[in-house]
Amino acid sequence: MRVHRTAVALLLATATLLSGAAATPAGAASRQSAFPAGSTTTADGRTVFTDSHGRTLQLRGFNIDKYDETTEADVSSIAAHGFTLVRVAISWARLEPARDHYDQGELAKLQRVMSWADRYGLLAVVDFHQDVYGPKYGGGDRGIPEWATRDDGLPFVPDPNDWFAGYFQPAVQAAFRHLYDDPDLRRWQADFYTRIARELRGHRSLLGYDLFNEPSGPIDGDPSDPAVLVAASAELEQGRLPAMYRRLITAMRQVDGHSWLFVEPTVLVGQGAPTQLPAFADPRPGTARLGYAPHFYDTAVEAGQDWNPADGFIENYTAAITAYPQAGHLPVLVGEWGPPNSRTPGNTELVRRQVAAMSGFAAGWTMWYWCQGSGGYCGLGPDGRPAPGDQPAFAPYAAALAGSPVAESYQDGTYSLTFTAGHGWTDLVVPGTAYPNGAKVSVSGTRSAVIEIDQPHGDHAGTARVLLPTAHPGQRITLTLYPR
């Protein structure tokens, strides 16, 4: 690989550098993401991931493989665009189609996806995924297998125009109740989780596990009544759901003391309902590696409407998810977010506002979904470029920050990051899609800076590295990235 780098120390209040030749696509794709070895709480109460050198990490990326279609080229492309994280959806039904019988082909496919993440320097959070419980209720082969489905013979009538309404069917609610309550189903679920943990624990890309996607459960009353839904969600989060999480945390820690384990609230957090989940203990030796993984969806947008910026969604959501992770000092990893069609004016603004909001409360995020097409959540358009309206998700960011973040913004090609200084190099991702002609960096707030830039090449991201040799710990610094 042939890469020209320029490093210069400038004794100026503002340091600016134009760097040399472009990095090759292979160079961009081989970037190795730092593992979140710990966490720290910032002055504003947010808990962020830190690496072994104490740098603050921002994890950004996409969901993959729900539809069993992800290729090595997809994983390589995610890394080449400058992302550091994938959320890998797995299905109990596919992996263990019969009790104690594991599909070796499916296990091998999962191992390949994780090995691709290893190869291209990504981190991976494995998502134990379900949609409307499992295959018995029209979820394809995704979710809980039929041999672990008990619904007392209650009715299920699918709505072809509203898949989510399946959660409110009596059979589905009974199936969730049995999963939470029946001792044998509890044991079988724990057995499956520990089997997967044993299979994957050798991968350097393995960040951890999202323990249960979009948990749901019994609803006592009319689900069309918002008050009934809020009460049912609170009851679930105060009883059956935390009991499940405690069982699964205990089971996973018997075979994996390294990975992060993330708990999800119910989807009502998207409607501004704060979670009622209790705190959880981590039995691993040393400091806890537990996190909080809410989703960030607007109900009206999911139903096909264009987003109305006056509806208060961003503000209500942010208020709803703040208290719980702050109280438990948990990093927030937003596991899913993004509109089904980012091309409409309101949804284009929604993407911009979501990215800006998450920079203030999230330690990382994975957008839904990495695919190429003309709609249906695809992050890439038919031409392979960021889908119209999704460009803010492909913006520059500090993958590793030598200090504590204060504020960041991005507009019209100018990225600004303010932070209090720490020690070491700060690594900024420089997306090729945002800086087709390369980028410059300026630094204010200190007398000197050492700056190295590997410029982007085509759609492939480069990296801007900044070292502040004369900055004092806690000193406020602003980095600005703008087009060359």
Q: Walk along the chain (484 residues) in steps of 10 and give the mean pLDDT of each run.
A: 33 36 36 91 95 97 95 98 98 97 98 98 98 91 95 94 93 98 98 98 97 96 93 97 98 98 96 96 97 97 95 96 97 98 97 97 98 92 96 98 96 96 97 96 96 95 97 97 96
Which residues of the chain are in CATH 3.20.20.80 domains? 57-394
* pLDDT for position 430: 98
Residue type, position 138, single letter:
G
State whether residue 322 is helix, strand or coil: helix
Q: Name the burial class of residue 242, with classes exposed (0-12), middle (13-18) and buried (19+) by CB atoms within 10 angstroms of its CB.
A: middle
Beta strand pairing status for 38-41 and 336-337?
unpaired
Whole-number pLDDT of residue 281: 98
272 Cβ neighbours under 8 A, 6+ residues apart = 312, 313, 316, 317, 319, 320
Distance between CA atoms of residues 304 and 249, nearest Å: 37
| Amino acid at residue number 366 | T
List every span in the chain annotated with CATH 2.60.40: 1-30+397-484
Architecture label for domain 57-394: Alpha-Beta Barrel (3.20)
- The CATH number of 1-30+397-484, from 4.10.280, 1.10.10, 2.60.40, 3.20.20, is 2.60.40
DSSP secondary structure string for all residues of 430-455 = E-TTT-TT-EEEEEESSS--EEEEEB
Q: Which among 395, 472, 394, 484 is positioned nearest to 442, based on CA atoms?
A: 484
Question: What are the DSSP calls for 110-156, one per residue?
Answer: HHHHHHHHHHTT-EEEEEE--SSSSGGGT-TT-SS-GGG---TT---
Q: How many helices (H) and strands (E) does the chain have?
A: 11, 23
Angle between helices 170-181 and 240-253 (to 10 degrees): 50
Query: In this predicted structure, what is the pLDDT of residue 160?
Result: 87
- Dihedral sign (CA 177, 181, 186, 187): negative
pLDDT at position 139, please?
A: 72
- Supply the pLDDT for residue 31: 63
* Length in residues, the chain: 484
98 φ/ψ angles, rounded to the nearest 5 degrees: -140, 150
Cα–Cα distance list, 29 to 43, 72, 394 (Å): 34, 12, 15
